[in-house]
């Protein structure tokens, strides 16, 4: 199962700003929690298990590279 890694966010700068903004004034623990909740909410939005597994695997490979 493939998922898109080509640009798919119309306004990347705005997204990035919003992401960083969401973490504003949070402790590192709170930020970790926020990230976990973002992952869970986005995972539900995606829904398809094959896609989710491919994303998890891509993120892990990139981290270990």
Partner 1 sequence: MKSIDLPPEATGTEIQAMAFAYERSADQAAPAPVRHRVVVVGAGPVGLSLAIDLAQRGQKVLLLDNDNRLSSGSRAICFAKRTLEIWDRLGIGERCVNKGVSWNVGRVFLGDQQVYQFDLLPEAGHARPAFVNLQQYYAEAYLLERASALPNIEIRWKNAVAALRTVDDSEGGGVWLGVDTPDGRYELIADHVAACDGGRSTVRSLMGLQSKGRSFKDRFLIADVKMAVDFPAERWFWFDPPFHRNQSVLLHRQPDGVWRIDFQLGWDADPEEEKKLERITPRVNAMTRQALGHEVPFELEWASVYTFVCQRMDHFRHGRVLFAGDSAHGVSPFGARGANSGVQDAENLAWKLDLVLKGRAGDALLDTYATEREYAADENLLNSTRATDFITPKSEISRLFRNSVLELASEYAFARRIVNSGRLSVPATLFHSSLNTPDRDSFQSPVVPGASACDAPLKLAGADTWLMQHLGQGFDLLVYGESLPAAVSACPVNKLLVVPPDARPRPQAGAVVLHDHSGAFAQRYDATPGSVWLLRPDQHVCARWRSVSAADIAAALDRACARAADPALTKD
Q: Which residues contact 15 (CB under 8 A, 6 or more apart)?
A: 9
List contacts with partner 1 (CB under 8 A).
32-33, 36-37, 39-41, 44
Tokens (6 digits) for 50: 């094959």
Judged by CB, which is closer to partner 1: 13, or 29? 29
Instruction: Tell the smallest beta-carbon distance from residue 45 to partner 1 (Å).
Output: 9
Nearest approach in angstroms of CB 20 to partner 1 is 20
Q: Provide the minimum distance between the beta carbon of 10 and partner 1 in the complex, in angstroms, as a whole number.
A: 25
Q: Let me know if 55 is exposed, middle or buried by CB neighbors in 10 A (0-12, 13-18, 19+).
A: middle
């Amino acid at each position: 199962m493939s998922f898109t890694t080509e640009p798919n966010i119309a306004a990347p700068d705005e997204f990035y700003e919003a992401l960083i903004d969401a973490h504003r004034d949070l402790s590192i623990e709170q930020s970790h929690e926020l990230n976990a909740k973002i992952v869970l909410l986005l995972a539900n939005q995606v829904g398809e298990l094959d896609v989710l597994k491919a994303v998890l695997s891509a993120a892990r490979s990139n981290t270990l590279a």
